[in-house]
Amino acid sequence: MLSIIIPSYKDQLLNRTIDSLLENATGDIEIIPVLDGYFQEVKQDPRVHPIHLHQNKGMKNAINKGMSMARGEYVMRLDEHCMVAPGFDTEITKMEYDWMVTPRRFFLDPVKWEVMDIPPVDYEKLLIIDEPKKFSGVRWTSRTEKLKDIPVDETMMMQGSCVVMSKYWWNTVIQDLQWERYGTLYQDQTEMAFKTWKAGGKLMVNKNTWFAHKHRSFPRTHNHDSVESRNTFAQMLTDYGDYYNEVIKPKWGI
């Protein structure tokens, strides 16, 4: 079974995301929307098991809570404004126990509720950028073209909006997202990637399936230039900067 954890905070697209999951699953799934300090009506279905947090705890706490309740052999973390491909659950769980896997990523028009006519993202490279100084995933166009015929492949980075792994990997390697150290909202994908690499695992992209994430041209609900975000970015660089420069960059030839 695939358990799908959706951290949610007052996003009107939550139920549309749940509908997309229910309509397109071909295997056994459970959906765990974690309502972070607010209440709303959630789609009624025996596969949907909402959790209501009485106080706003932040995205990473919501993810951690959902993961603790997940019953599946595999777990997915998904944003609350996404569409998924038919059969996504069956395809995305074709994986090794030490992989984290992200699907091909398209862009979603949340008003029309349709995939936008923009080339999808398959590969991203991990760079350290300035203003604000932080780890950041950047579309890797040359690798995308060079390896376009390889359906499942290793990638250097992903957007944090959709990732799948075995529950074993979450329990033994990720072991909850460190919100006290890195803040409640930012760079969860970077934390998971570094933990995975240090444990000998891989970050993979599966191009045989896809999801579509709300395009950034539509309103966002958080601020990447707050004091909290800058502190988070700085702490991540402190903790993993040397490992990135000494191990990850040489491996990828960056």
What does the pLDDT look like over 75-130, one tens digit per residue? 999 999 999 999 999 999 999 999 999 999 999 999 999 999 999 999 999 999 99
Question: Has residue 233 got a pLDDT over 70?
Answer: yes
| Band (218; pLDDT cuts 50, 70, 90) | low
Q: For residue 212, which phi and psi values (nearest 5 degrees)?
A: -125, 125
Percent over 90 (pLDDT), the chain: 90
Please report the pLDDT score of residue 216 as a whole number. 72
- Which of 70-84, 165-179, 226-240 is least confident? 226-240
Q: What does each C-alpha distance from 1 to 30, 122, 206 come to in angstroms?
A: 7, 25, 19
Burial classification of residue 3, based on how many CB atoms lie within 10 Å of its CB (0-12 exposed, 13-18 middle, 19 or more buried): buried
- How far apart (Å, rounded) are the C-alpha atoms in residues 85 and 201? 26
Looking at residue 79, what is its pLDDT?
97
pTM of the prediction?
0.95
Q: What is the pLDDT of residues 169-197, one digit of tens each?
A: 999 999 999 999 998 988 999 999 999 99
Produce one character per residue of 191-227: b if its CB has 16 or more CB atoms within 10 Å, e if not.
bbbbbbbeeebbbbbbbebbbbbbeeeeeeeeeeeee
Predicted pLDDT at 169: 98
In the predicted structure, residue 224 carries a pLDDT above the cut 70: no
pLDDT tens digits, 11-56: 999 999 999 999 999 999 999 999 999 999 999 999 999 999 999 9
What pLDDT score was predicted for residue 228? 78
Q: Is the pLDDT of residue 217 over 70?
A: no
Would you call the peptide bond into 103 cis, given omega within 30 degrees of 0 as the criterion? no
First vs last C-alpha separation in the chain: 37
Does pLDDT of 222 surpass 90? no
Question: Looking at the domain covering 2-122+149-221, what would its CATH class be?
Answer: alpha beta
pLDDT for the residue 246: 98
User: Phi, psi (5° rounding) for residue 25?
Assistant: -75, 140
Domain ranges of the chain: 2-122+149-221
**Which DSSP string do the residues of 151-180 spell out, in sequence order?**
SEEE-SB--TTEEEEEHHHIIIII-S--HH
Q: Which residue has the higher pLDDT, 180 or 162?
A: 162
